[in-house]
Amino acid sequence: MNSGNIYVIAAPSGAGKTTLVLALLAAEPQVQLSISYTSRAPREGEVDGRDYHFVSRETFEAMIARGEFLESAEVYGNYYGTSQVWINEALAAGKDILLEIDTQGAAQVRRLFPQAISTFILPPSAEILEQRLRNRGKDSEDAIERRLKAAREEIAHVEEFDHIIVNEHIDEAVRDIIAIVRAGRLTLNRQVARHSELISKLKGA
Ligand code: 5GP
């Protein structure tokens, strides 16, 4: 069976992950982004079914109890999870799928799918990280400190990932993430499955 790859992308907030993911999806339309479920309220401009499937805490907990998540985690007091059914269908259809999840979720996915290809996005410096977190609206010093702490806790897991991209120049970072996705499709297993006929003909078999 020609099944697709699972690409996991994690990053602290302030690393520029969303911009990178959007550019990747535009360049590689075969990659399907998994839309997570969350119990957090939609932010301004977010659309249900596009950014997340927004559900209540009760619905989310019932979904956990029914085993409907491939992975789930509580981040800043809200639940987030990846749909098991959606992933199974996408993989069976041979699609490459992209999971934009936190490091707890990434660890769960790695246990279930050791072949998943994971990438961590880093900001180019501690100063820039802090600056980006500060620029996100008029938050109190407390809120900014909390975000910085959360970012540091995510970054503590960087060594668990297969790839690291330092997002200093966005164009270069976009090329890097595209390179990771494309290289993942050129591995022996994928290529032998895709080109078995060509390979046996070329071998003269
Ligand atoms: P935000 O609320 O800012 O959209 O996301 C907060 C954090 O939750 C981010 O680190 C994001 O990657 C993570 N996240 C989003 N969806 C999922 C998911 O389905 N599973 C897990 N484990 N984390 C998620």
Q: Which domains does the chain have, with CATH numbers?
A: 6-34+95-203 (3.40.50.300)
The pLDDT mean for the chain works out to 94
Q: In what helix (H) or strand (E) does residue 82 lie, and over which residues does it extend?
A: strand 78-83
CA of 99 to the centre of ligand 1 (A): 9
The more confidently predicted of residues 52 and 14 is 52
ipTM value for the complex:
0.99
Residue nearest to atom 9 of ligand 1 (CA): 102
Query: Which string of b and e fits 39-49 if b means at least 16 CB within 10 Å?
Result: bbeeeeeeeee
CB < 8 Å & 24+ apart, contacts of 73-77: 73/101, 73/102, 73/104, 73/105, 73/108, 75/102, 75/104, 76/40, 76/150
108 lines ligand 1 (CB under 6 A): no
Confidence of residue 138 (pLDDT cuts 50, 70, 90): low
| Substitution site in 34, 71, 101 for ligand 1 pocket (most atoms within 8 Å of beta carbon) | 101
Q: Which residues contact 96 (CB under 8 A, 6 or more apart)?
A: 4, 5, 6, 7, 28, 30, 31, 32, 181, 184, 185
d(CA 154, CA 134): 18
58-73 average pLDDT score: 97
- Single-letter amino acid, residue 46: E
